[in-house]
Amino acid sequence: MTARIPTLDIARFTHPVSAEDRAAFVAELGQAYREWGFAGIRNHGIAQEQIDRAYDVFQRYFALPEDTKRQYHVAGGGGARGYTPFGVETAKGAQYSDLKEFWHIGREIPRDHKCADVMAANLWPDEVPEFRDVGYGLYDALDKLGSQVLAALALHIGLPEDWFVDKTNYGNSILRPIHYPPITTPDIPNVRAGAHEDINLITLLVGASAAGLEVLSRKGEWVPFTADADTIVVNIGDMLQRLTNHVYPSTTHRVVNPPGELARQPRYSTPFFLHPNPDFLIDVLDSCVTPGNPSRYPEAITAQGYLEERLREIKLK
């Protein structure tokens, strides 16, 4: 039997029919993440129309001439906001860069906020006027959905449901529309996205429009995970893995090049990287330390400190 990554109905948590079923959902979700670090989430409440509109504006931006797009590249900005050109990001330890270009939308915070120095103002492309409202609308929707997933994940490890609320209310989260252009060079050694783990708490991947995402199972097998159109893929990142002492594993994944002619199709996808507040201290949770799983990280680190370390490793800083 081929292993399958579970897909769960989050309405059982957000609009429960009974307390028992809500608790059963938490247990099933927790089990899926312990096993896979990945799950599909259905009935998430984000309208397909909103997702389609977002993909439309993102694709219109990526279709602009390279010189126009590069006006939104911030030199020395670590790719934190605006455009990052093709061939820059490189998976940790990889020899060849990924085959993608992307844009980063960050949280809108008052410019006199205490985190304004590490959370830069957004850039918006003048050429696609709807980009701002549509892009930030999707940011907001995924931020809210991500908080629901975190609430369920908190309950499963014995924390109060609202434990993450004041740790993520000004989180340094990023919405990343990605374009993987058609691959026209035969035998190219690069892959669309090399094997990696995400840095943040959890990632919500909305509407990946084509096959290619693969997840490394505990047995060491690459398992393709192309979710149905109505499903958002949610995975654990390294910060949550560290906080939970690996109870929730940050699972390695990659995006492979399609075989033959299919490689000439572009691929678009849009992950939302949900981050904690920059000053949140990532310190292993007591509830995740047991005699069989002693603390793997005796030292705490701030989310910002951890992020900076990791961005250098993937050549964004």
The 250-289 contact track toward ligand AKG, x by CB under 6 A, reads: ---x-x-------------x-x------------------
* Closest CB to Fe ion among residues 198, 214: 198
* Closest CB to ligand AKG among residues 23, 316: 316
Measure the CA–CA gap between 248 and 288, rounded to whole angstroms.
10
Amino acid identity, position 8: L
CB of 269 to Fe ion, least distance (A): 10
With beta carbons less than 8 A apart as the criterion, state whether 10 and 44 touch. Answer: yes
* Closest CB to ligand AKG among residues 79, 278: 79
Among 46, 153, 174, 208, binds ligand AKG (CB under 6 A): 208
Measure the CA–CA gap between 121 and 143, rounded to whole angstroms.
18
* Closest CB to ligand AKG among residues 94, 208: 208
255 binds, among Fe ion, ligand AKG, none (CB under 5 to 8 A by kind): ligand AKG
269 binds, among ligand AKG, Fe ion, none (CB under 5 to 8 A by kind): ligand AKG
**Total number of residues that touch ligand AKG (CB under 6 A):** 11
Identify the DSSP state of 76.
Answer: T
Terminal C-alpha separation, the chain: 43
Amino acid identity, position 234: V
Binding status of residue 241 toward ligand AKG by CB under 6 A: no
**Which of 114, 105, 132 is closest to 170 using CA atoms?**
114
When CB distances to ligand AKG are compared, the closest residue is 269
Stretch binding ligand AKG (CB under 6 A), from 66-74, 103-111, 205-213, 279-287: 205-213
Binding residues vs Fe ion (CB under 5 A): 198
Among 79, 83, 124, 198, binds ligand AKG (CB under 6 A): 198
CB of 273 to Fe ion, least distance (A): 8
- Give the DSSP H/E element, type plus range, for residue 35: helix 19-36
Tokens of 39: 């799950």
Dump the DSSP string for 237-283: -HHHHHHTTTSS----EEEPPPSGGGGGS-EEEEEEEE---TT-EE-
Q: Residue 225, class by beta-carbon neighbours within 10 Å (0-12 exposed, 13-18 middle, 19+ buried)? A: buried
Binding site for ligand AKG (CB under 6 A): 176, 178, 193, 198, 205, 208, 213, 253, 255, 269, 271
